[in-house]
Structure 1
Amino acid sequence: MHNPFVEHYDIGKKIVNTANAPKAIGPYSQAVYSTGRQSRRSSLGGGCGSFSGEKSWDAPNYLFLSGQLGIVPKTNEFATGDNNFHAQTVQAMKNIEQVLKAAHSYATLDNIVKTTILLVDMSAFPVVNEAYKQFFDEKKGYPARSCYQVSALPKGGLVEIEAIAALSPKSPITSWMY
């Protein structure tokens, strides 16, 4: 049986790219921002029983950051140091900070609710943890996180970190988008 009631949902998004983080090395954006302003258009077609309406509401705003490698934007080379896993983790987190700033100047690492870390060698997990935790305030709580070992990363990287940040739909952080 055909259902004449149709609903369409519109969710806004904004593409975020910045020269202050390494350029995307494939067909993707550094981040995509879901504006949270959502609307639903409904219609029930035909005859004297037809109906049409629209409803809008604010939903949480999310910034989905693509994985960041430990590449220094000015040199386009991997960060190095006494321990390259540590150096690349620190640089990947700095790159994430820059993408957050590009999304909006009020966005910080405190807005991150989830990260995923990819490592080419899980034995480096303790070193990566030490580098990673210096970017968050333990008293405010750490983001949820997953960590996986992979066989390889782009350009021969050792560490890649992706993140999801949440922003309030009522905050001054997002009011400029409406």
Structure 2
Amino acid sequence: MIQQVQTKKAPKAVGPYSQAITANGFAYLSGMLPLHIENGTIIGTTAAEQTEQIMKNISGLLSDLNLTLEDIVKTTVFLDSMNSFQEVNEVYGAYFSSHKPARSCVEVSAIPKGALVEIEVIAKLN
């Protein structure tokens, strides 16, 4: 069964897509931007600050599914520049101690709303 996830614990989708979908024992979170939950504005002017907000938004959405960061099996990090790789890595890494999900990281030409970072997640449902 496929179910759409809608929560007030994460920013609203900025397009015609769901915040997340659950299917076959997994939660597929759409790419998360560093948006303020209530007004949808970008939080942070650096890749590190934006990564911090994204991780908070991801945690909020996961909590609505009774999940934590420990349930994440795969992430994809999109950067507007690989020059931000190290600062994003430092913030991202602080959220994962012994549990380290599989990850891809790619540079893209642009991210919606002019963000510097976007992260999508796949998590195992309990």
Place the TM-score, normalised by the shorter chain, in its bin.
over 0.9
The answer on 1:153 being equivalent to 2:117 is: no
Could you list the runs of 4 or more consecutive aligned residues of structure 1 that deviate by over 6 angstroms after TM superposition? none
Residue 122 of structure 1 corresponds to 82
- 1:28 is matched with 17
Q: Which runs of 5+ in 2 are unaligned?
A: none
Which of 158, 163, 169 is 2:121 aligned to? Answer: 163
Instruction: In structure 1, give the amino acid aligned to 2:12.
Output: K
CA distance in 2, matches of 1:31, 1:69: 13
More strand by share: 1
Unaligned runs of 5+ in 1: 1-11, 37-60, 168-172, 174-178
Sequence identity, in percent?
Answer: 46
- Aligned counterparts of 2:36 and 2:96: Cα–Cα separation in 1: 21
Q: Which amino acid aligns with 1:30?
A: Q
- 1:100 equivalent to 2:62? Answer yes
Q: Give the 3-state SS of the residue equivalent to 2:123 in structure 1.
A: strand
Instruction: Compute the displacement of 1:74 (Å).
Output: 2.6
Distance between the aligned counterparts of 2:22 and 2:60, measured in 1? 14
User: What is the one-letter code of the residue matched to 1:86?
Assistant: A
What secondary structure is seen at the aligned counterpart in 2 of 1:72? coil
TM-score by length of 2: 0.94
CA deviations on 1:99-120 (whole Å, 9 max, x unpaired) are: 1122x22x10000000000000
The amino acid across from 1:109 in the alignment is L
Q: Note the 1:48-59 alignment, pairs <5 A.
A: none
Larger radius of gyration: 1
SS in 1 for 2:38: coil
Give the alignment's TM-score, normalised by structure 1.
0.68
What is the aligned counterpart of 2:69 among 98, 102, 109? 109
More helix by share: 2
Tell me the residue number matched to 2:101: 143
Aligned residues: 126
- Give CA deviations for 1:95-147 in whole Å, capped at 9, x if unaligned: 11111122x22x1000000000000010110000001011112x2x3000000
Alpha-carbon RMSD across the aligned residues, in angstroms, is 1.2
Task: Look up the SS of the partner of 1:64 in the other structure.
Answer: strand
Match 1:16 to one of 5, 12, 19: 5
Corresponding residue SS for 2:2: strand
